[in-house]
Structure 1
Amino acid sequence: MAFADVDGVRLFYTDDGGSDSVLLLVHGWGSDSHEWTHHIPALRERHRVIAVDLRGHGYSTSRDTGNTPRRMAADLAELLAGLGTGPVVAVGHSMGGQVVSHLAVEHPDSVRALVTVDPGYGFTGAVASAFPGMVEALRGGDTSAVAVDIDQWSYTPATPAWLRESHRRRTLATPPHVLVEAFEAMFAVPGAIGVRPNSDGYLARRPCPVLTFWFDPDQAAWESGLFKDPRSRAVVWEGSGHRLHEERPAEFLLVVNKWLKALAGARA
């Protein structure tokens, strides 16, 4: 394990495997890199795997302000530069999907491909309309309890109890000011890419191939229309919960490794 000092925060990360193929694993809101526990052992057999706790999450520290997905992406660009990785495949779940998309747009030399897992962008309709009220609730009450309540949408009746409890505890361990600032930056500030139409033009700027996983076929179809690289692909797992990569880790790894193998063949 290791820590890196970046922009006044101390980031925790692990760095496993020795391949020239580098994967960067990025967790979601109120979570940490333990989210990838079921994936790292298999991935490091084929790749160098870097899993990081974003600022204000897990073992990483935070600042009083600046705990936003865009700043988190800048942290990752600085971390990767310090590690000398070259371009990576950046894998992001939920808020992590926003973070790696910011990384691809704002720091394109850091990224050769993206994998996004039920990413936190492109919402519309009633869901998008509810975000300002969620921010108000986070600011006005017991932030940790409100965040745990917001997270309940992530699950289905088939979600295992251990997964629910694991993320409840991680959310409770996240500093309240980080939960508020990160959520608001994702969904409720001007230009936030968590909602349409802000997301459309921004995500269309990602030049690299993208593999995206959704449980909602409408969201998958929408994002497919924004792909720039013909090797991009949208996968739909209807009936899954928001944390589909943790609910179905073996199948997730199978799809990701097959896609990465195809990318490597296309470069040969």
Structure 2
Amino acid sequence: MSTFTTSDGVDLDVRDTGPTASGRTLVLVHGWSQSRATWDRVVPSLAEHHRVVSYDQRGHGLSAKPDHGARIARLATDLHELTGHLGLSSYDLVGHSMGASVGWSLVDNHGTGSLDSFVVLDQPSACVVLPWMTPEQGAEAGAILDFPTTEGFVGAVGAPDAREARHAFLASMLSDAVPADDLAHLFAENLQMPGGWGARLLLDHAMQDWRDVLPRIDVPVLVVGGEVSHVSPDSQRWTAAHVPGAQLRVFTAEEGGSHFPFFEGPEHFATALLAFLADTPGPRAGQGG
């Protein structure tokens, strides 16, 4: 366990398994309202082969809870600063849900020069049908919300009495087979994020349109979906089709293919991720941190 302080004074809780003979470093970025603890089931399998860095994003988990920075661009800056602090000249980025959007923002602002590969884990490139999209364009990219629905949803999860709404949203992202104690564990992580701050972040996240970033990603990409996720696998197929050379992996229900495949099916997820990494060039110029 260590702490990294961002340029605007926010302490982030970081876990780092340390360098391995492979020279590769995996940086795991969790989704909205969750924490680095959601990766705990898969980290041991990954760490047998590569260095693994996970951290709580600002406002989440054990990291500081500032009043500012509730936007994807700031979270991407946090990621950029953290990897610089760790001396990672190149690394493999695994972004889950909103964490994938953080990765897209990083690419949009800093390019792909620091990335050896990018795993996009169950995140549509657009969440809301925005004014410049037709309904058909929004649907194919994965956008299932309109403005009024988004306003109502964000208001519900950010309300002072939002415990029930937050629990229902979390449960909708998991399979029907998830044990009650697992759901309780994830919900306890969810509740570490302040509701009002989280609602602001969720609105910023929902209003992004990353479709124009996809064709500019020039590193190996694995796009992951789940058959029983609340995110349609078709949106992940669309994403994979618009990233040059991207691979697609859709996990079945039996493999834990919900929105959290690394939590519900960690063995299957680790196997797929390690196989993808083994088929990529690896650290640039032998520099992986």
TM-score by length of 1: 0.88
Alpha carbons of structure 1 residues 60 and 140: separation in structure 2 relative to 1, 3 Å = closer
Report the identity percentage.
29
- Displacement after TM superposition at 1:120 (Å): 5.0
Counterpart check, 1:37 vs 2:40? yes
Structure 1: how far apart are the matches of 2:54 and 2:284? 25
- Displacement after TM superposition at 1:159 (Å): 2.0
Give the partner amino acid of 1:236. Answer: V
Structure-2 residue corresponding to 1:97: 100
Which of 177, 182, 204 is equivalent to 1:158?
A: 177
8 A Cα contact 1:89 1:112, kept in partner? yes
Structure 1's unaligned 5+ residue stretches are: 193-197
- Displacement after TM superposition at 1:27 (Å): 0.9
Alpha carbons of structure 1 residues 267 and 64: separation in structure 2 relative to 1, 3 Å = closer
Structure-1 residue corresponding to 2:119: 115
For the residue of structure 2 that corresponds to 1:264, the secondary structure is coil
Alpha carbons of structure 1 residues 164 and 139: separation in structure 2 relative to 1, 3 Å = closer
Counterpart check, 1:149 vs 2:146? no
Which of 206, 224, 244 is equivalent to 2:261?
A: 244
Which of 203, 206, 210 is equivalent to 2:221?
A: 210
Structure-2 residue corresponding to 1:195: none
- Displacement after TM superposition at 1:160 (Å): 2.6
Equivalenced residue count is: 258
- Displacement after TM superposition at 1:69 (Å): 2.1
CA-to-aligned-CA distance 1:160-183 (integer Å, 9 cap, x gap): 323211111111121123311211
Once superposed, what is the RMSD of the aligned Cα atoms? 2.1
Structure 2: how far apart are the matches of 1:116 and 1:18? 24
> Which structure shows the higher helix fraction?
1
TM-score by length of 2: 0.82
Higher RCO (CA 8 Å, separation ≥ 6 residues): 2
- Displacement after TM superposition at 1:265 (Å): 7.5
Counterpart check, 1:227 vs 2:247? no
Structure 2: how far apart are the matches of 1:251 and 1:78? 31
Alpha carbons of structure 1 residues 265 and 84: separation in structure 2 relative to 1, 3 Å = closer
Structure-2 residue corresponding to 1:181: 200
- Displacement after TM superposition at 1:65 (Å): 2.1
For the residue of structure 1 that corresponds to 2:211, the secondary structure is helix
CA-to-aligned-CA distance 1:95-148 (integer Å, 9 cap, x gap): 111112222332233322111221254344572223232113234452444322
Structure 2: how far apart are the matches of 1:105 and 1:63? 25
Which of 200, 210, 213 is equivalent to 2:211?
A: 200
Map 1:32-71 onto structure 2 (within 5 A): 32-71=35-74
Give the partner amino acid of 2:168. Answer: D
- Displacement after TM superposition at 1:225 (Å): 2.1
Structure 2's unaligned 5+ residue stretches are: 128-137, 227-231
- Displacement after TM superposition at 1:158 (Å): 1.7
CA-to-aligned-CA distance 1:170-216 (integer Å, 9 cap, x gap): 1112112331121111113xxx1xxxxx2311333323221111123
For the residue of structure 1 that corresponds to 2:249, the secondary structure is strand
